[in-house]
Amino acid sequence: MNWMLIVLMLPLAALLYWAGFYATKDMRIKKNAMRLEQAKKNLEQQRLEQEKAQDKASEDKE
């Protein structure tokens, strides 16, 4: 009897796992897009800070 219960519960567990994974798909996609956008902003800000530091260093040499 116990093995029949396990056999019946396995498909239900798989279905619930799949439903949870599918339900969070949009959330994961949006979160990854936000991370990518933030990484691009951080790189741009870092590049601008480096340029500013180089300009200041070149002005100090003159």
Whole-number Cα distances in Å, 45 to 15, 24, 25, 52 = 45, 31, 30, 11
Reported as a pLDDT band with limits 50, 70 and 90, residue 46 is very high
Taking 70 as the threshold, does the pLDDT of residue 37 lie above it?
A: yes
- Quick: pLDDT tens for 15-29: 999 999 998 999 999
Section 32-60 average pLDDT: 93
Amino acid at 41: K
Of 14, 44, 33, 34, which is closest to residue 6 (Cα–Cα)? 14
Q: How far apart are CA 27 and CA 41, in angstroms?
A: 21
Of 47, 50, 51, which is closest to residue 39 (Cα–Cα)? 47
For tokens 């994961």, name the residue. Answer: 28
For residue 1, what pLDDT is reported?
Answer: 67
